[in-house]
Amino acid sequence: MEAIISTFTNPYYLQVASIMGVYMIAALGLHLITGVTGQFSFGHAAFLSIGAYTSALMSLYLGTPFILNLLVGGLMAALWGVLLGIPSFKLTGDYLGITTLGFGEIVKVVFINMKITGGAGGLGGIPRETNVVVVYSIVVLAIWGLYRLQNSRFGRALLAIREDEIAAESMGINPLLYKLKGFALGTFLAGVSGALYAHLMQYLNPADFGFSRSFEILNFVVLGGLGSIPGTVLGTSVLTLAPEFLRFVREYRMLIYGALMVTMMIFRPYGLLGGIDFGKMFRRYRAQRKSMKDKKAVQG
Amino acid sequence: MSALLELKGMTIHFGGLIAVDNFDFQLEKGQVVALIGPNGAGKSTVFNVISGIYPPTAGKVFFNGEDITNMKPYHIKTRGIARTFQNIHLFKKLSVLDNVRIGCHCRGRTGVLGALTRLPGVKAEEKVILEKSLEVLEIVGLANKQEETANNLAYGEQRRLEIARALAAEPLLLLLDEPAAGMNPNEKKNLMEMLKRIRAMGITIMLVEHDMKFVMSISDRVDVLNYGQKIASGTPAEVQNDPLVITAYLGSQTG
């Protein structure tokens, strides 16, 4: 399959498309935490790195199949998500933002100082298993799963917590439990994304998973529109492609990128697709068409 | 017959302030009981303790014969106590229908796996939730606004949506915190009709309200709080003529 695709396009485009998909999976995870449940996490990259190192070490030392490594990478990230989430969510307010910020730095320092991860020199020689087909299959699977979650009793409970925690609690929702479940699912996706990243880049360095990477992923979600899946996908696409398209202006590209962000936030503070509900638009359109038809039937 | 709700010596201190002092209260099934009193008398605090938002400093709360003191709000809700808020607490950015669906939360069971697989049982549960939601929206007269975002509703409609959301969980006891606040006379009349219908469904109602005409025409019994203490209890007519109550509201006559 990949061979067929690569005959149409060059490896550079494929690489950019794969990276974009990998970030999309991470951003979709953060979308569930921040966009749906309303909890700010500033350490998303740390969960990527946990998934990345776990799966890379499994590939290098155990030789286990790629799919299993992806899964275990995701589960490991989710496990740390739960361990961090339990104490953070017990406090009321936005403490998760602070603890995730600290957690991100700790994880980075741990990976720099561990021998098995290659320390600051990084971990190389990871087999290249990730390709554009695998990445986008998982992107589609993640989007499908998130749509189903959001339109269920579980997803509505998460939305209720985002909107009004006191009211949610009075509706019979246990906020601690639901925040934890949402956070575990979101960090699971981050772990899977990290595992894909490791087997795409074939080299890992703790410095790649610092605060700036976490912030970048948060940007994807916020720029696209908090709480919107199409928004998250669009935000990730725009912000990963923009630096590539801006390569011709070289040293000015980060300047333009920054200006783009500022303009965005002034003109669309809720993000590109913030506040736009395609499902609702579709239902309205259908209802309108139906009433038009009914009218015609009466007249005819 | 034993009481549906019973408060025994309930006391709440906020730092040095005694918000509610040694409050005894009983509510029989099927009754409509109002709690009135001047501003700051501790009425909403009583609600917050019953619904589990504040733990009481002392005293006990019994519901349906079970001790629910210190239980979390989400456990109390499951036992059958639903409430509305004085300062509206809707899920503002969600649709009217979703607000009510969330009200059904404690009557459902679907978790993450159910949401992903959408097995027949999950679909059936969603159908029950939808039917129940439409039913309660019909009761409060918001069925034609189900797709509207809660934030875009008029003030009176938002109050009615709060009631619908509370009703969705099929509660035994409905706590209404100033349901008529900010409503015009016409809306109040509609609200009264609505409460009578809810009562006919067999739901017990406890309400806090400032509008005396409203309280007097709907309640079986009225309890009066002043500075955290119960100063009177009885039928609307008895309470209206109680000298202590008149003093609390109008002040005592001097000279």
Name beta bridge partners: B232.
Answer: B224
pLDDT of residue A246: 78
> Is A156 in the B-facing interface, judged by CB distances under 8 Å?
yes
CATH class of the structural domain B30-55+70-80+171-255:
alpha beta
Strand ranges for B147-218 from DSSP E: 173-177, 204-208
Q: How far apart are CA B67 and CA A57, in angstroms?
A: 53
Q: Do B103 and A185 touch (CB under 8 A)?
A: no
Q: pLDDT per residue over B106-135, tens digit each?
A: 888 888 988 898 888 899 999 999 999 999
Q: How far apart are CA A191 and CA A171, in angstroms?
A: 32
Q: How far apart are CA B8 and CA B214, in angstroms?
A: 28
The answer to whether the beta carbons of residues B103 and B167 sit under 8 Å apart is: yes
B51, B94, B147 ranked by CB distance to A170: nearest = B51
Give the number of domains in chain A: 1
Mutating which of A146, A148, A151, A153 best tests the B interface, going by the most B Cβ atoms within 10 A?
A153
- Helices A66-90 and A95-113 meet at what angle, rounded to 10? 130
> Is A143 in the B-facing interface, judged by CB distances under 8 Å?
no
Q: Which two tokens stand for residue B131?
A: 């039917």
Q: Do B91 and A160 touch (CB under 8 A)?
A: yes
Extract the residue ranges of chain A whose pLDDT is less than 50. Answer: none
CA-based nearest distance B25→chain A, Å = 22
Q: Do B169 and A153 touch (CB under 8 A)?
A: no
Please give the single-letter amino acid code of residue B93. Answer: K
Give the residue extent of every domain in chain B.
30-55+70-80+171-255, 88-168
Q: Which two tokens stand for residue A9?
A: 């396009």
Q: Do B114 and A152 touch (CB under 8 A)?
A: yes
B83, B94, B105 ranked by CB distance to A153: nearest = B105
Q: Do A155 and B115 touch (CB under 8 A)?
A: yes
B72, B78, B115 ranked by CB distance to A152: nearest = B115
Q: How far apart are CA B62 and CA B4, in angstroms?
A: 8
Question: Which strands make up the sheet holding B204-208, listed edge to edge?
Answer: B81-83, B173-177, B204-208, B32-36, B221-226, B229-234
Give which of A89, A98, A99 is closest to A174, Cα–Cα.
Answer: A89
B74 contacts in chain A (CB < 8 Å)? 169-175
pLDDT of residue A272: 79
pLDDT beyond 60 at B1? no
Maximum Cα–Cα distance across chain A: 80
Give which of B66, B45, B48 is closest to B3, Cα–Cα.
Answer: B66
| A/B interface, count of CB pairs below 8 Å | 101
Give which of B59, B61, B66, B67 is closest to B47, Cα–Cα.
Answer: B61
> Is B93 in the A-facing interface, judged by CB distances under 8 Å?
yes
pLDDT of residue A297: 75
Interface of A with B in 173-232 (CB under 8 A): 173-175, 181, 185
Q: pLDDT per residue over B182-222, tens digit each?
A: 888 998 999 999 999 999 999 999 999 888 888 988 999 99
ipTM beyond cut 0.85 = yes
Q: Do B105 and A160 touch (CB under 8 A)?
A: yes
Indicate which CATH number applies to the domain containing A47: 1.10.3470
Which structural domain range is residue A159 located in? 2-299
Taking all residues of chain A, what is their mean pLDDT, rounded to a whole number?
89
> Is B111 in the A-facing interface, judged by CB distances under 8 Å?
yes
pLDDT of residue B253: 65
- Determine how many CB atoms are found less than 10 A away from the CB of residue A173: 24
Q: How far apart are CA B45 and CA B67, in angstroms?
A: 19
Q: Do A171 and B126 touch (CB under 8 A)?
A: no
- Helices B185-200 and B155-167 meet at what angle, rounded to 10? 10
B111 contacts in chain A (CB < 8 Å)? 154
Q: Do A284 and B83 touch (CB under 8 A)?
A: no
A153 contacts in chain B (CB < 8 Å)? 101, 105, 108-110, 114-115, 125-126, 129
Q: Considering chain B, what percentage of its residues have pLDDT values greater than 90?
A: 57
Q: Which residue of A has its CA nearest to B125?
A: A153
Strand ranges for chain B from DSSP E: 5-14, 17-27, 32-36, 58-63, 66-67, 81-83, 173-177, 204-208, 221-226, 229-234
Q: pLDDT per residue over B25-34, tens digit each?
A: 999 999 999 9
Name beta bridge partners: B71.
Answer: none
Q: pLDDT per residue over B36-71, tens digit each?
A: 988 888 888 999 999 999 899 999 999 998 999 999
* CB within 8 Å of B152: residues ≥ 6 apart: none
> Is A149 in the B-facing interface, judged by CB distances under 8 Å?
yes
CA-based torsion, B53, A91, A216, A141: positive or negative: negative
Q: Do A167 and B91 touch (CB under 8 A)?
A: yes
Q: Do B125 and A153 touch (CB under 8 A)?
A: yes
Confidence of residue B245 (pLDDT cuts 50, 70, 90): confident
Q: Which residue of A has its CA nearest to B97?
A: A156
CA-based nearest distance A159→chain B, Å = 8
> Is A166 in the B-facing interface, judged by CB distances under 8 Å?
yes
CA-based nearest distance B112→chain A, Å = 6
> Is B196 in the A-facing interface, judged by CB distances under 8 Å?
no
